[in-house]
Amino acid sequence: MLILRLFLILLTLLLVLCGGLYLFTRNHYYLKLAWQLLRFTLLLLALFAVLWILERYVLTGVQALL
């Protein structure tokens, strides 16, 4: 969980930095980069949620059967 929190803090800082750079330079590259970072993060969070649910409910049910 500590790694996930550090990752989310780093992502927030990167998104704020991209937004600030876009406002300062008006270069659309920074908006594209922010959007890619956000999509990548949502994908990783979804994967983390699936693995957590798998560990929490499916694997404990298998252990109960054994």
Which whole-number Å values give the CA distances from 17 to 13, 20, 44, in the listed order?
A: 6, 5, 21
* pLDDT at residue 50 greater than cutoff 90: yes
Q: What is the mean pLDDT of the chain?
A: 90
> What pLDDT does residue 58 have?
81
> What pLDDT does residue 20 have?
96
pTM for the structure as a whole: 0.77
Domain count, the chain: 1
Q: Across residues 19-47, what is the average pLDDT?
A: 95
* pLDDT at residue 45 greater than cutoff 70: yes
Confidence of residue 16 (pLDDT cuts 50, 70, 90): very high
Q: Which domain holds residue 32?
A: 2-65
